[in-house]
């Protein structure tokens, strides 16, 4: 990507180097929101959400960290003795992760993963990064690919947010529009902004637990365990195993 398109990476780098950084999220219908900011991407394990701390108990063996970001998950798992390969399509985020100590941080889009990476025992997709599957079709395709590059008893540990856990009329209208177009309710078309940096549009998929299980089964996996956020805000982590 061109430098000015790496809005996410710029946000992460600015925060890392002590500058103000705000993550502006733009949706395809014109809806604009501001995230909680980049601080959670840097939080040590003791400050993670309880649901994510519990999820780490299900990680084993060699790990693929999809959506590396600033490297918080990779760093924690390295400290626990795991061999971790972290991938992200943001050059600046990968730079930050390396500077923070991630030993194997690679500039690689999720859609480009292959057997060249080796075999993994766990795939982690924290911070709602189940969304990186993008769509139902993308989920089936990429889940099958993950099945080919993982061990027989591998797991996927993936966070998502239930799109139906909202009463925001802007979100409900968008979901209805999605359904009319034959898309899943929680399929989002987004881009990020930060100062003069404007990211490319991308699809991001948030799903209910039942939808996660249905998609998992279509790609050779199934949800074996659900770990739900104690606040009941719709965020949860699914632990997937092969069928």
Structural domain spans, the chain: 3-242
pTM recorded for the entire structure: 0.96
Q: Is 231's pLDDT higher than 80?
A: no
pLDDT of residue 186: 98
**Percent of the chain scoring above 90 in pLDDT:** 95
- pLDDT digit string (tens) for 171-227? 999 999 999 999 999 999 999 999 999 999 999 999 999 999 999 999 999 999 999
Q: Which two tokens stand for residue 98?
A: 């390396």
113-122, 129-138, 229-238: least confidently modelled range: 229-238
Sign of CA dihedral 125, 26, 196, 14: negative
- Looking at residue 172, what is its pLDDT? 98
- Give the whole-angstrom CA distance, residue 95 versus residue 121: 25
CA distance 237 to 131: 12
Residue 229 has pLDDT above 90, yes or no: no
**What's the CA gap between 165 and 159, in Å, rounded?**
15
pLDDT at 2 over 80: yes
Does the pLDDT of residue 36 top 90, yes or no?
no
Per-residue pLDDT at 140 exceeds 80:
yes
Which pLDDT value is given to residue 37?
A: 86
* Alpha-carbon Rg for the chain in angstroms: 17
Mean pLDDT estimate for the chain: 97
* The predicted structure's pLDDT at residue 230: 74
Tens digit of pLDDT for each residue in 61-108?
A: 999 999 999 999 999 999 999 999 999 999 999 999 999 999 999 999
pLDDT at residue 63, as a whole number: 99
Phi-psi region at 195: left, alpha or beta (left = phi > 0; alpha = psi -120 to 50): left
Superfamily of structural domain 3-242:
Vaccinia Virus protein VP39 (3.40.50.150)
- Lowest mean pLDDT across 61-65, 111-115, 160-164, 229-233: 229-233
Find residue 158's DSSP bridge partners: 125, 238
Q: What are phi and psi of 236, to 5 degrees?
A: -155, 165
């Amino acid at each position: 990507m061109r430098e000015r398109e790496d809005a996410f990476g710029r946000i992460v780098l600015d925060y890392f180097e002590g500058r103000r950084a705000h993550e502006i999220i733009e949706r395809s219908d014109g809806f604009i929101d501001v995230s909680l900011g980049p601080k959670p991407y840097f939080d040590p394990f003791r400050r993670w959400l309880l649901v994510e701390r519990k999820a780490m108990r299900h990680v084993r063996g060699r790990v693929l960290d999809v959506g590396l970001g600033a490297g918080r998950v990779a760093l924690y798992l390295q400290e626990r003795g795991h061999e971790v390969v972290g991938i992200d399509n943001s050059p600046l985020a990968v730079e930050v992760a390396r500077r923070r100590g991630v030993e194997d941080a690679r500039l690689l889009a999720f859609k480009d993963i292959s057997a060249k990476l080796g075999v993994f025992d766990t795939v982690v997709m924290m911070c709602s990064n189940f969304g990186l599957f993008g769509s139902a079709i993308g989920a089936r395709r990429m889940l099958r690919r993950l099945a080919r590059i993982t061990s027989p008893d591998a797991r996927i540990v993936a966070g998502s947010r239930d799109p139906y856990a909202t009463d925001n009329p802007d979100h409900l209208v968008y979901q209805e529009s999605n359904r009319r177009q034959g898309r899943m309710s929680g399929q989002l078309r987004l881009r990020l902004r930060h100062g003069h940096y404007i990211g490319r549009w991308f699809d991001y998929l948030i799903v209910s637990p039942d939808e996660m299980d249905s998609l998992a089964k279509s790609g050779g996996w199934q949800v074996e365990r659900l770990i739900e956020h104690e606040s009941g805000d719709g965020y949860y982590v699914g632990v997937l195993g092969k069928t």
